[in-house]
Amino acid sequence: MKIATWNVNSLKVRLGHLLEWLGRETPDVVCLQETKLEDAVFPAAELLAAGYASVFSGQKTYNGVAIVSRLPMSDVVAGIPGYADEQKRVISATVAGSRIVCAYIPNGQSVDSDKYQYKLQWLTALTAWLQSEIAGHPRLALLGDYNIAPEDIDVHDPAAWAGQVLCSGPERDAFRGLIALGLSDSFRRFPQPERSFTWWDYRMNAFRRKMGLRIDHILLTTPLAETCTACRVDVSLRGLERPSDHAPVIAELA
DNA sequence: ATGGCAGGAAGCTCCTGA
């Protein structure tokens, strides 16, 4: 089973890219973030015509998550149960016996922002919920835009980013808190090219200059990690017109 | 030190993203 995560930065703008990529890469399950679409206008019919069913939880302008899958999905849950949040950032479904959790973790804006406090509280709620979710679903994958670069190797200029949002100590502590639930960073289970990133600022030709961060991740519980045979960043969509500022991450499970 | 870029909603500018 091939699973993937991609922050599309507007599914309305990126639907053509997604359909082209689904046809070429044929992932089984794709978690999408920043769809920026209300549920009433989600392009479920277009995806179904391409062979993919969709479940989604969206809103106008901001946020919005979806899972698209060639395999049947069941037990769909939106949000973090027990955590009231108007922002549509999580959706989960069971696919082929594995629990798939699609998450768009808050950005945080800056470490002195109220949004940063929201991010840390949100991560606390996510972690507490996942602990019980993993207990009930030993085969679980957490895919999404974490808005956290876990280590300095995941940052093009660690000195410039030191202590900044996406790289700060509390955020990295929260990432390690997720790992401590028994999750494994699938990307780091394999040798990777130097300067492997998943996001680049639209400004200053950052992609061309390899000035990025690795903030999109696929974390797997041990039973799934043991079946993982590959994980990579796919930059192929960056060559198209109007690319997303994020690249997909793909993991192959036996 | 600042702004650069992109998407969306609104409306000819601002907020957010990361």
Q: Each residue of A146-178: pLDDT tens digit?
A: 999 999 999 999 999 999 999 999 999 999 999
Q: Measuring from the CA of residue A59 to each C1' atom, give the nucleotide at the shortest distance.
A: B8
Q: Measuring from the CA of residue A107 to each C1' atom, give the nucleotide at the shortest distance.
A: B18
Average pLDDT over residues A186-212: 95
Q: Measuring from the CA of residue A10 to each C1' atom, give the nucleotide at the shortest distance.
A: B7
Confidence of residue A225 (pLDDT cuts 50, 70, 90): very high
pLDDT tens-digit series, residues A120-145: 999 999 999 999 999 999 999 999 99
Confidence of residue A44 (pLDDT cuts 50, 70, 90): very high
Active site residues of A: 104, 145
Instruction: Provide, in whole angstroms, the distance separating residue A35's CA from nucleotide B10's C1'.
Output: 20
Q: Contact, A31 vs A100, CB < 8 A?
A: yes
Q: Contact, A192 vs A217, CB < 8 A?
A: no
Instruction: Provide, in whole angstroms, the distance separating residue A63's CA from nucleotide B15's C1'.
Output: 14
Q: Measuring from the CA of residue A60 to each C1' atom, give the nucleotide at the shortest distance.
A: B8
Q: What are phi and psi of A170, to 5 degrees?
A: -60, -35
Instruction: Provide, in whole angstroms, the distance separating residue A108's CA from nucleotide B17's C1'.
Output: 10
CA angle A72, A75, A78 (to 5 degrees): 110
Strand B footprint nucleotides (protein C-beta < 7 Å): 3-9, 16-18
| Strand A29-33 versus strand A216-221 pairing type | unpaired
Instruction: Provide, in whole angstroms, the distance separating residue A13's CA from nucleotide B10's C1'.
Output: 19
pLDDT score for A83: 96
- What are the residues with a C-beta under 7 Å from any atom of nucleic chain B? A 7, 9-10, 12-13, 34, 36, 60-62, 106-107, 109-110, 115, 145, 147, 165-166, 199, 201-204, 213, 215, 242, 245-246
pLDDT score for A16: 96
| Strand A183-185 versus strand A216-221 pairing type | antiparallel
CA angle A30, A229, A90 (to 5 degrees): 30
pLDDT tens-digit series, residues A199-208: 999 998 999 9
Rg of chain A on CA atoms, in Å: 17
Q: Assign residue A250 a region (left: φ > 0; alpha: ψ between -120 and 50; beta: otherwise).
A: beta
pLDDT score for A23: 97
Instruction: Provide, in whole angstroms, the distance separating residue A39's CA from nucleotide B6's C1'.
Output: 23
Taking the C1' atom of B18, which residue's CA lies nearest?
A107
The residue count of chain A comes to 254
pLDDT tens-digit series, residues A68-90: 999 999 999 999 999 999 999 99
Taking the C1' atom of B7, which residue's CA lies nearest?
A10
pLDDT score for A39: 96
**What's the whole-number average pLDDT of chain A?**
97
